[in-house]
Chain A
Amino acid sequence: MSSILFFEQLLNGIQFGTMLFLMSAGLTLIFGVMGLINLAHGSFYMIGAFSAALIAGLTGSFWLALLASLSGAAIAGVLIEILIIRRLYRRDHLDQVLATFALILLLSEGVRWCFGAFPLYLDIPKNLNGTLLILDDIIYSKYRLFIIFMGLLIATGLYVLITKTRLGVRIRAGQNDRQMISALGVDISKLYTIVFALGASLAGLAGAMIGAIQSVEVGMGEPILILAFVVIVIGGIGSIKGALIGSILVGVTDTIGRIFLPELLKIFMEPASATSVGSSIGSMLIYILMALILIIKPSGLFGKT
């Protein structure tokens, strides 16, 4: 195993992690502020990717497409929050899980209706195509570096938003004491809509950026949704810091585990069975990690007990 391969995989893991962060930041905010488990968060990822593919097809511009993914998912978020989600805040977790599960069915089939069952493709812009030489012998995809950069940018942006702005103060206050801030005259239902739309638009952006390396199709959001749940459970539900650390942890563990576990097992086992056992355990690794963390700390790394 060369160190170059390891470094490349590490970067892949971080890239995956930053995208997971875009998903899980919204998820954890929505849970922290409104107390809502939103299974339909993956649908915003899908809606973002489809909005981007639509606009990219019409205008040919990748940057407009990214903008479209943000606004498309945000608009969908506002509509769905006002029509359905709003009624679920006071319900128990079971109702929330089921209603948002139903929303997944509704949104997935709705998108299939509009765009058909075939996957769409989103092109990477020319100046991000190709590779870049970093640290004299490691060649890495420019676009993936761009994704990491965007992820870090948004993480910083969120940090500033939450800690330095008036909206951030309200969001934090909402996490601590809902009744109190509505008593103090903050329009709580508007705040909820804003937080929901913010989460949705981040998910949408992640969908568009990943859609450009994979394909844009119905059901693309669910696998990453489950991973985002793993992330926020590991990080502690409601904690953005937890979501960031959890995302990188999950992204790196998953990528590195899948590649290196079979290699590691080859030291002890015959190659054929090492490959199959290694890849099986590699794909289960993050769930094992989550189970371990929950057994040691039942409310996640940064969760409130």
Chain B
Amino acid sequence: MIVEKIFNKWILVFLFLIPVLGFIFEEPYYITLTTKVVILGIAGIGLNLALGYCGLISFGHAAFFGLGGYVTGILSFHALNSELMFSWPFVSSGSSDMLVIWPIVILSSAFLALIIGLLSLRTTGVYFIMITLAFAQMLYFFAISWPNYGGEDGLSIYMRNSLPIINTMDPLTFYFICLCWLLIVIFISAKLINSSFGMAFQAIKQNEERVKSVGIETFKVKLLVFVISGTITGLAGSLYTDLNRFISPSVLNWQMSGEIMVFVILGGIARLYGPLVGAAFFIVLEQTLGGYTENWQFWLGLILILEILYVRTGILSLFEKKLKYEK
């Protein structure tokens, strides 16, 4: 456990160093890549709360990632084209201010997660996996066939959304904005996991009946975890749109849900930094193998299968010092 903690500190050090080095040696590409790792890491940390700690296997987190992305894209699309978004119940023509966008993203992802959670948490096991998948697919097909915001082609926003004083167009600045969010999300997750609420949702993963028997309303606990989880992933989606200045239905696709799951599993399930490590590993793999061969996903598949069949506990577990009584 101790080794893992030291390793986690090193991860943070690296997250500070790599983009700064990228800046000094004028390689902005590495800044973008690290930004991507941080954002996908946030998405994974969101999923990990539900999947890793509470045992809710959601195969539809792309819904939240995509919703966050689309809310961001649509708001700034209207603001940049100074086009009216809606006129009822109040007049709005979007916004390109992150301080306005973030709360809207957070509220709307939380709301979506509440709706999906209310409906799908009635089921368990395979049915839960499939119904969350179905909800994400519903949004995916909606985004494809709704022509107003680009449909299948996606939506470009020409300017990254802004913050007061700070210039968000600068890659390094935007990176640090994302890093701040990562630290906030890690902090909140750590607090949650160690709270009495956290004990409850981790206990649900082990044995839901027992948790019920001590008087905890497990449905409410699971719903709240699901909402928090979806909200965090939604926020990551918003940052992702700002990073690429583009959003398309592909982020709502079920493969996205699968990838977010892969980050969680590769890094190590129910470990705070696991999804971050998983996302980093994924991006590094994509960059290095992708350079040699077009078929890099073949090797990704192979690594994943080997990990699931033989390692089983993720990359971070390699840094875990086993206590004597553990085998």
Contact = CB atoms under 8 A, between A and B. Distances in A.
Interface of A: 31, 37, 84, 87, 91, 93-95, 97-99, 101-110, 112-113, 222, 226, 229-230, 233, 237, 276, 279-280, 282-284, 287-288, 290-291, 294-295, 298-300
Given A108-B297, A233-B127, 19 more contacts: A91-B308, A97-B59, A102-B300, A103-B305, A104-B301, A105-B297, A106-B301, A109-B295, A109-B301, A222-B254, A229-B133, A276-B146, A276-B147, A282-B145, A287-B141, A288-B138, A290-B131, A291-B135, A298-B123
A295 B141 contact: no
Interface string B249-266: 000001100100110010
Interface in B284-302: 295, 297-298, 300-302
Contacts of A284: 138, 141-142
B126 A31 contact: yes
Contacts of A226: 133, 137, 254
A126 B135 CA distance: 42
Contact of A109 (B131, B254, B297): B297
A222 B137 CA distance: 12
B145 A279 contact: yes
Range class of the B interface residue count:
35 or more
Interface string B236-272: 0000000000000000001100100110010001000
14 contacts: A98-B308, A102-B301, A103-B305, A106-B305, A109-B297, A110-B298, A113-B298, A230-B130, A233-B130, A287-B135, A287-B138, A291-B119, A294-B119, A294-B122
A99 to B, nearest CB: 5
B144 interface: yes
B304 interface: yes
B85 interface: no
A106 B300 CA distance: 8
Q: Which of A95, A104, A109, A113 has the most CB of B within 10 A?
A: A109
Given A294-B131, A295-B122, A283 B301 contact: no
Contacts of A94: 51, 57, 265, 269
Given A94-B57, A229-B130, A84 B142 contact: no
B134 A291 contact: yes
Contacts of A237: 126-127
Contacts of A107: 301
A107 B129 CA distance: 23
Q: Which of B126, B145, B254 has the most CB of A within 10 A?
A: B126
B144 A283 contact: yes
Interface string B294-318: 0101101110110011001000000
Question: Top 5 nearest A-B pairs by Cβ distance?
Answer: A105-B301, A106-B301, A102-B304, A109-B298, A287-B138
Contact of B131 (A98, A106, A108, A233): A233
Contact of A283 (B141, B269, B304): B141
A35 to B, nearest CB: 9
A93 B308 contact: no
A92 B130 CA distance: 15
A126 B269 CA distance: 55
A249 to B, nearest CB: 14
B126 A93 contact: yes
A14 B109 CA distance: 37
A284 B57 CA distance: 23
A290 B134 contact: yes
Contacts of A84: 305, 309
Interface string B110-136: 000000000110110111011101110
B133 A102 contact: no
Contacts of B123: 294, 298-299
B129 A93 contact: yes
